[in-house]
Structure formats: C-alpha cells, structure tokens
Chains A and B, each alone.
Chain A
Amino acid sequence: MDKRLRAIAVLLVSALLLLVGVPLLLSGWLLFLLTVASAKALAVLGIVLLLRGKLLTFGHALYYATGAYAAGMAVRYLGVHEALVLLALALVAGVAMGALLGLLVARYRAVYFALLNLAFSMVLYGMLLKLYNVTGGTDGIGIGEPTLAGFRLGGNALRIAMYELSVILTAVLVYFTHRFFVSPLGYTLRAIRDNEVRVEYMGVSVWRAVYVSYIIAGALGAVSGCLIALSVGHITPDLAFWSQSGEFVFVAILGGTGSVLAPVIGSVLFEAVRNYAFELSPYTWQMTLGIVLLLIIFFLPGGVWSLTAYLPRRSSR
C-alpha cells in the first residue's frame, strides 16, 4: 500500500511541477522548446514501439507530415480551428495511412521495412511539394491560432495552453504505450523479434501483430505532427523529408529503447542541444549527429536511458 501511495505522490508532484511550476518559472522561449520536445517525443515513441519488434523505420516523418497536413488541410479547406478536433482528424489520418501502407509494409523486416518506409515518406514529400495548389508547396500552410476546447486564447495564454496540451497528451499517450508494451500484443512484438516461427506455432498471426503495431506507431507520429502544427503555427513539406525521419531515429537511439520515458528524455535533450549547436555551425550539425550516433552504437547501445541502471536503487523484491 505504501508503495502505491508513494507512486501517486510522485505522480502528483510531477504533474504540479510540469503543469504549473514550469510555465510560471520558465521563459516563453524555453516553454516553447519543451512544447516542441514533448510533441516530437511522440513520433520518437512510435519508432521505439516498432523497435520492440526489431522493426527500424527510416520513414516515420511520413506520419508526422500526415498528421500535420491533415490539420493543415482542415484549417485551409474546412475552416476548422479547434485544436481538439484537429488532433482527432490527425489521428484518423494517421491510422488510415498506417492501415493502407501497412498492408504492404507489414510483410517485411530489416532492410526492406526500413527503406520501404523511407521510399513512401519521400513520395509524400514529393507530393506535398508538387501539388502546389492543394498543399501550398514550399510555402506551406499557416495554421493560425487554434481554439482550445472552444476557448479563444491569445499570446502568452495560448503558448502556455499549447504547452499544457502537449505535455498532457504526451503523458496520456506514453501511458497508453506502456500498457501496450505490457499487454499480450506488446509481448508478441517482442517474441516476433526473437523467434517469428515460434509465434506462428503458438497460433498467433505475426503479420497481424506487426500490422497493428505499425498502425499504432503511425497514429503516434500523426498526433505528434499535429501538435507541432498547432504549436509552431506553420507547416511545410520538410516535415516529410528523410532528414526528419533520421532525426527521429537518432533521438530514439539517443534516448534508448528500454522505457516509454526514454523518448521523452531523448527528445528534450536533443532539442536543448540542437538549439545551441545548430547556431554554432550549421554545416557540421549532421556530422555531429553522425558521430554521436556512432559513439552510441559502439559505447552506449542502450542509449541515455541505459545510464539509469547506474542509479542507486533500493531492493524492492
């Protein structure tokens, strides 16, 4: 009982800190950084989810852009401005896209899986770029100021509201993903990673497990993209470009795949460092990422999260 009380207490304190303390104490720009980090963490979470089944995708920006442009289209053509509605639309778009592409992609593993996703993401990029009349091409689409649950906010209040929305949504989806990981389907994904043949001999469809997992990951990516659209206020085709996918993969590996919280940690770390490093030297940013990735591959394969193993822990059993 004591353990549960402690867990609830920790949860409440963190919630208080994150939702009340941070907006009050931090500057608007830092708040924005955390908003973006939190939103992007969802796309990274999608990648980590798939990595549970040893499925690495280099095209997750596809879903990121899908969510963002679903919102963008709704703003431009349907005149929708309500954030919650836009998020719902983005979710539906992400699920639909995942359900469609998953039909082909869920059959594959390793190299094929990684690059098929990349190929499709670049097709979307090309489409967003080329269909100028529909998508605005390189000009992109302006999202404007969304209403939140009907409330029209402006300026600082909106910034704080976006932060809160991002953090709460991320927390909720992280929790859902955690439940996925400890569910039979989550374990099936791990089993597929180790021995697909055995999974089939358990009477379980490997394809179906991969397909459903893929759709869930896509949904996470789409919500992520929509959140970004709402927070930043403007979207461009670059959201679908391969370097965005690469960034998500980098953060996934940086944070580590050992926990649902790792993508959040990795994302915050990444955004913080990126803000400073990119200004220092834009021509060496990707090189820096590449070198760091190499270092992680060779010296810290579990990512930053694996460092938590060194934290002192009390014996609980």
Chain B
Amino acid sequence: MRLLLVVGLDGLAYASWLFLVSAGLTFTYGVLRVLNLAHGNLYALGAYLGATFVMRYAATGSTPALTYALLLLAAVIIGITVGPLIERLFLRRVYSRDEEVQLLLTFSISLILEDVVKLTWGVSPIFAELPYTFLGRVRLGGINYAWYPFLLTAVALAVGGLLWLVVTRTRLGKVLTSVITDREVSLTLGINVPRVYTLAFAAGAVLAALGGALTAPMFSLVPGVGAEVLVTSFAVVAIGGLGSIGGAALGALLVGLARSAAVYFFPELDLFAIYLIMAAVLAFRPQGFFGEVEVRRI
C-alpha cells in the first residue's frame, strides 16, 4: 500500500515535469506545424538563466520566497526574446519549403544555441538549489517527501488549465484554433497569421524555458541537458499526438506512472519505459492518442 503511494506520488511528480517540458513543443507544432528541434536548448537557456538569477539573488541574502518569481521571470525573458528572434529571423523564411528543411533549420539553431550556452555559462555544473530546499519536506504515509515536486504539479495543472482556458474561452483562442485548422482561410478572414505564428512560437518558447527554469533547482545543470529533454519531450508528444495539449498531459501521466513503477519493480527498464510505451502506442495508433490522421484528397 505504501509502495503504491510512493509509486503514485513519484509518478505524479515525474508526469508533471514531463508535461511542463513537453507542452511547449506540442503547442508550437499544433499552431505552426513545425517541430522545434531547438526546444531542448530553450529549456536549457531557461534553466541556466533561472539558476543564474537565483544564485545572484541568493548571494544577497534576501528572502528566498522571491526566487520562484525569478525563475518565472527568467523563463519569460528567454521566451519573449529568443523565441521571436528564431521565428522572425529564420523560421519564417522556410515556411513555404519542405518539412525536412524546417527540421534542418531548427536543428541549426539548436547547434548554435548549444554553444551559446557553453560560451555563456561554461561547462562546470551549476546547481541553484535554494528554491528546492527552501520549501522543505513533508511526511506523507511515513515517507519523507520534498515539497518542491508538488509545486511542479501545481504549475503543470495551472499551465494546462491556462492553455485550455485561452484556447476554448478567449478570442485569442478562437484565432489560434482558426489558424490551426486552416491557415489559408484564416488569412482571408483577415487574421494576421504571421503575427499569430510569432506569438505562438514565443509562447512555446516560454513554456520550454519555464520547464527548464523550474527544473534547475532540482538537479545540477550541465550542457547537453537540452538534448535529452528534446528526445523525452518528443516521446511524450508522440504518445499524446502531435499538437494536442490534452494528449501531452495524458502521455505525461502514462509515462510518469509507468516509469515510476519501473523504477521500483523493473529497475533495468526505467530508462526505456518511456520509449517502450512510445513504441507500443505508435505500433497500434501511429498518430498517438489524440493526433490527427491526414487523408489526402484526390
């Protein structure tokens, strides 16, 4: 019984992390039909900047409560500067070209950003653990848990809820849905599609950076963290269906619980749990849970 609690809570924590780092990737794909291979790098930038803010701030000895706002700030800064930069300077020029070219483009950006991180922050590990340790621990069902992962869950729920609200209830959401459904028609309706694209890409970047910033207090940061995040996010998004936020949530939950169970029952499999699930889901449903199947009209 206690084991179930542990697996459940661990799974939830991991699922929250998975959702936070994957939401941006699937959202960007949903609107722009581009899989941003620089997603992991945006995550890393958010993590590194967030860590830097926290460490500088911690050195001043002020109240740790503000570090969370700093993490959020770091994510927003990265998202609204690097995001639009990538989209407007580079991505925009290849919308009319093959998907492969778009992949190569975001791949080049990824290569560049990889070294930008190294040049800016060096290669030594960075660990800004204050936000994590500040929340302390709690005793649940006889086990000592850190509070921080629950914060992640709360943020994940908030992000999911916010996205859902924006898409279904706001005017911006209607515009987004229109662009997602049919770009050409949206243009004729007078929607400024290029601006929507930039906005959506920036939002995806903020989400990616947010995932990084919030994770920074949990592990020590090294360059190369981005690549693993990209692959993991893709697996979650593929399971859930490219472009579907709900799918990403479902995929995150599924993988989170499965991996957590694996850690306790089949430790050798824990690294591969996510890929095994991905392969299994794709074998039976190639488009993922909520992905679309496009049938060409002839």
A residues neighboring B (CB under 8 Å): 51, 54, 56, 58, 104, 107-108, 110-112, 114-116, 118-120, 122-123, 126-127, 130, 197, 242-243, 246, 249, 253, 283-287, 289-291, 293-294, 297-298, 301
- Bound CA span A116–B242, Å: 13
Knowing A126-B271, A284-B115, A290-B109, the reply to whether A114 touches B296 (Cβ < 8 A) is no
**14 A–B contacts, CB within 8 A, in A order:** A56-B104, A110-B103, A116-B238, A119-B234, A286-B112, A286-B115, A287-B112, A287-B114, A289-B111, A290-B109, A291-B112, A293-B108, A297-B94, A297-B108
Q: Counting CB contacts under 8 A, is B90 at the interface?
A: yes
> Contact string, B275-298, partner A, CB cutoff 8 A, digits 1/0?
100110011001000000000101
The 7 A-B residue pairs with the shortest CB-CB distance in the complex, in nearest-first order: A290-B111, A287-B115, A290-B112, A293-B108, A290-B108, A110-B99, A56-B100
Knowing A246-B111, A283-B119, A293-B111, the reply to whether A123 touches B234 (Cβ < 8 A) is no
Q: How far is the CB of A53 from chain B (nearest CB, A)?
A: 11
Knowing A285-B115, A287-B112, A298-B93, the reply to whether A115 touches B275 (Cβ < 8 A) is no
- B108 and A283 contact, CB distance less than 8 A: no
Contact of B278 among A108, A119, A283 (CB under 8 A): A119
Q: Counting CB contacts under 8 A, is B231 at the interface?
A: yes
- A286 and B111 contact, CB distance less than 8 A: yes
Knowing A126-B272, A298-B93, the reply to whether A112 touches B238 (Cβ < 8 A) is yes
Q: How far is the CB of A22 from chain B (nearest CB, A)?
A: 32
Contact of B118 among A104, A108, A283 (CB under 8 A): A283
Contact of A56 among B103, B111, B112, B282 (CB under 8 A): B103
Q: Which residues of chain A come closer than 8 Å to B93, judged between CB atoms?
A: 298
- Bound CA span A283–B105, Å: 21
- Bound CA span A114–B107, Å: 11
- Bound CA span A130–B272, Å: 11
- A294 and B105 contact, CB distance less than 8 A: yes
Q: Which residues of chain A come closer than 8 Å to B275, judged between CB atoms?
A: 119-120, 123
- B234 and A293 contact, CB distance less than 8 A: no
Q: Which residues of chain B come closer than 8 Å to A58, judged between CB atoms?
A: 37, 103, 107
- B107 and A246 contact, CB distance less than 8 A: yes
Q: Counting CB contacts under 8 A, is B98 at the interface?
A: yes
Q: Which residues of chain B come closer than 8 Å to A284, judged between CB atoms?
A: 115, 119
Residue picked from B101, B115, B272, most chain A C-beta under 10 Å: B115
- B101 and A297 contact, CB distance less than 8 A: yes
Q: Counting CB contacts under 8 A, is B157 at the interface?
A: no
Q: Counting CB contacts under 8 A, is B22 at the interface?
A: no
- Bound CA span A246–B286, Å: 25
- Bound CA span A224–B236, Å: 32
- Bound CA span A253–B234, Å: 24
- Bound CA span A131–B7, Å: 25
Q: Counting CB contacts under 8 A, is B244 at the interface?
A: no
- A130 and B271 contact, CB distance less than 8 A: yes
Contact of A293 among B107, B115, B228, B278 (CB under 8 A): B107
- A297 and B105 contact, CB distance less than 8 A: yes
Q: Which residues of chain B come closer than 8 Å to A111, judged between CB atoms?
A: 29, 35, 99, 103, 242
- A286 and B114 contact, CB distance less than 8 A: yes
